[in-house]
């Protein structure tokens, strides 16, 4: 139970961080008032998260809600199987690898529950890394464009002065 609740809190923090990074004026949006599914949808709509992460994030939210509202909720094999199915293909492949990178002898019963969260955090970190690289390329392109416009203005000003 504690792993699900803490994992959910960390995921929510990551979502908020992604959204704030992607907004030009994050103070204009009261992100903390949005529920977890809305934060997930917003991050995807902003292009900060791939759509294939939505099912697994929302499943974590459902597990957290089940623990919060159902005294009898337990992490059963059926819950683990459904959790696994919600992962994107890349996450499933990582979960099924043994220490040697082989997937031949690994079954869901042999995967530690904490590994699901570890893989999810890795996928989110990869997403953050790709977004950061994209943002850096965008900034560099904008700077090159600014420099080109500045140079063009200087050429035009010099050309106009030579005509006089």
Asked if residue 106 has pLDDT above 80, the reply is no
Looking at the 3D structure of the chain, how many domains does it have? Answer: 1
Whole-prediction pTM = 0.77
Question: Tens of pLDDT along 128-153?
Answer: 887 777 778 778 888 888 888 888 88
**Average confidence (pLDDT) over 83-104:** 85
Q: Does residue 128 lie in a domain region?
A: no
Over the chain, what is the mean pLDDT?
88
Sequence-separated (6 or more) residues with CB below 8 Å from residue 40: 15, 49, 54, 57, 58, 61
pLDDT band at 55 (very low <50, low <70, confident <90, very high): very high
Asked if residue 103 has pLDDT above 70, the reply is no
pLDDT band at 69 (very low <50, low <70, confident <90, very high): very high
Question: Tens of pLDDT along 79-89?
Answer: 999 999 999 99
Q: Does residue 157 lie in a domain region?
A: no
Q: Does residue 33 lie in a domain region?
A: yes
Q: Does residue 129 lie in a domain region?
A: no
Owning domain of residue 34: 2-120
Q: Does residue 8 lie in a domain region?
A: yes
Q: Does residue 134 lie in a domain region?
A: no
Q: Does residue 154 lie in a domain region?
A: no
pLDDT, position 136: 80
């Amino acid at each position: 139970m504690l792993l699900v609740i803490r994992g959910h809190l960390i995921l929510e923090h990551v979502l908020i961080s992604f959204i704030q990074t992607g907004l030009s004026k994050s103070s204009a949006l009261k992100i903390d008032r949005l529920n977890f599914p809305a934060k997930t949808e917003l991050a995807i709509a902003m292009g900060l998260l791939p759509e294939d992460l939505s099912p697994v994030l929302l499943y974590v939210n459902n597990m957290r809600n089940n623990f919060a509202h159902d005294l009898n909720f337990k992490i059963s094999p059926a819950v683990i199987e459904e959790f696994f199915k919600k992962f994107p293909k890349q996450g499933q492949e990582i979960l099924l690898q043994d220490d040697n990178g082989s997937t031949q002898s690994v079954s869901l019963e042999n995967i530690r529950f904490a590994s699901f969260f570890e893989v999810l955090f890795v996928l989110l970190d990869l997403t953050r890394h790709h977004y950061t690289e994209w943002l850096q390329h965008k900034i560099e392109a904008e700077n090159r464009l600014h420099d080109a416009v500045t140079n063009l203005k200087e050429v035009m000003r010099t050309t106009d002065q030579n005509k006089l």
